[in-house]
């Protein structure tokens, strides 16, 4: 009886333990699946990260290549534009130089023509000196005739030299301004002043030539003092015109600072008084 009871109790215990063992095995299997699922998710996540990083690197490389290509393109365009501007500047400079050379040649021919005419008048005035002295001797006497003729002759020579100096220097300034224009400098205001100065120089030269005719009229008076006073008046009129031309050219020289570099020195001294 007791033996049977033990068997029944043992069987009952075995039947109670069986579900617990099965549940433990199920739980272990479930835990294993969870671990495998988690590992799979981690692997996929890592793979996704790598793919994203790879795409980022690829995109970064593409952007960098595009930026470099764009920079190269911009640089090439800048260089091409620079070359184009330089070529245009050279063409403009050559055209300007050609025009300047033509204008200079024309101006040189005109100056030579005018100087030739002036030189002829000067020579004619010198050649007529003896004739004038003879006429003056009859009116004023030999000593006075010599004195007044010598005075006017000296003044004329001084004025001629002064005007020639001013004219030569104005020509040099004109050439300097032309070169400054080739270097694309604005010298319009200086050119205007030079035009005024050249007009003053020309006016002084014309006044000097006119003074020779006025001198012939002035010495017709038999009164030596009256004749000499008239001649002085003629000389003073020329001196004033020469001084005006000189002042105008000095104004041009003062405006030359910064044009072509360096300061300009000149000897533009002119007679400022009569003897």
Residue spans per domain, the chain = 85-254
In the predicted model, is pLDDT for residue 271 greater than 50?
no
Query: What does the alpha-carbon distance between residue 19 and residue 16 come to, in Å, rounded to a whole number?
Result: 6
Per residue in 171-185, pLDDT tens?
899 888 888 887 888
155: which 2 tokens? 């003044």
Helices assigned H by DSSP within 128-141 = 129-140
Beta carbons of 252 and 234 less than 8 angstroms apart = no
Highest mean pLDDT among 20-24, 47-51, 99-103: 47-51
Per residue in 126-153, pLDDT tens?
666 666 666 666 666 677 777 877 888 8
SS3 12: helix
DSSP code per residue over 153-173: HHHHHHHHHHHHHHHHHHHHH
Q: Mean pLDDT in the chain? A: 77
Q: What is the pLDDT of residue 201?
A: 94
Q: Tell me the pTM.
A: 0.55
Q: What residues contact 216, with CB distance under 8 A and at least 6 apart?
A: 132
- Kindly provide the residue ranges of all beta strands, DSSP E only, lying in the chain, ordered along the sequence: none
Reported as a pLDDT band with limits 50, 70 and 90, residue 166 is: very high
The secondary structure of residue 219, as a DSSP letter, is T
Q: Is 260 left (phi over 0), alpha (psi -120 to 50) or beta?
A: left
- Stronger pLDDT, 202 or 259, i.e. the higher one: 202
Of the chain, the percentage scoring pLDDT greater than 70 comes to 69
Per residue in 58-74, pLDDT tens?
888 888 888 888 888 88
């Amino acid at each position: 009886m007791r033996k049977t009871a033990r068997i029944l109790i043992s069987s009952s215990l075995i039947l109670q333990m069986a579900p617990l063992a099965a549940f433990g095995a199920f739980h272990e299997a479930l835990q294993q699946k969870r671990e495998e699922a988690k590992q799979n998710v981690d692997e996929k996540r890592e793979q996704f990260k790598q793919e994203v990083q790879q795409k980022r690197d690829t995109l970064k490389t593409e952007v960098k290549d595009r930026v470099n290509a764009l920079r190269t393109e911009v640089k090439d365009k800048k260089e091409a534009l620079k070359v184009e501007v330089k070529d245009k500047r050279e063409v403009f400079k050559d055209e300007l130089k050609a025009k300047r050379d033509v204008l200079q040649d024309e101006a040189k021919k005109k100056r030579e023509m005018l100087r030739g005419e002036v030189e002829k008048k000067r020579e004619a005035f010198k050649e007529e000196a003896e004739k004038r002295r003879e006429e003056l001797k009859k009116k004023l006497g030999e000593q006075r005739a010599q004195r007044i003729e010598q005075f006017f002759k000296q003044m004329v020579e001084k004025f001629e030299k002064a005007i020639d100096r001013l004219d030569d220097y104005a020509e040099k300034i004109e050439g300097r301004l032309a070169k400054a224009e080739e270097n694309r400098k604005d010298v319009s205001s200086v050119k205007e002043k030079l035009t005024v100065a050249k007009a003053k120089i020309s006016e002084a030269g014309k006044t000097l030539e006119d003074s020779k005719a006025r001198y012939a009229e002035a010495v017709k008076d038999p009164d030596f003092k009256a004749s000499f006073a008239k001649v002085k008046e003629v000389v003073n009129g020329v001196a004033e015109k020469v001084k005006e031309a000189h002042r105008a050219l000095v104004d041009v020289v003062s405006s030359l600072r910064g044009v072509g570099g360096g300061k300009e020195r000149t000897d533009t001294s002119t007679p400022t008084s009569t003897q």
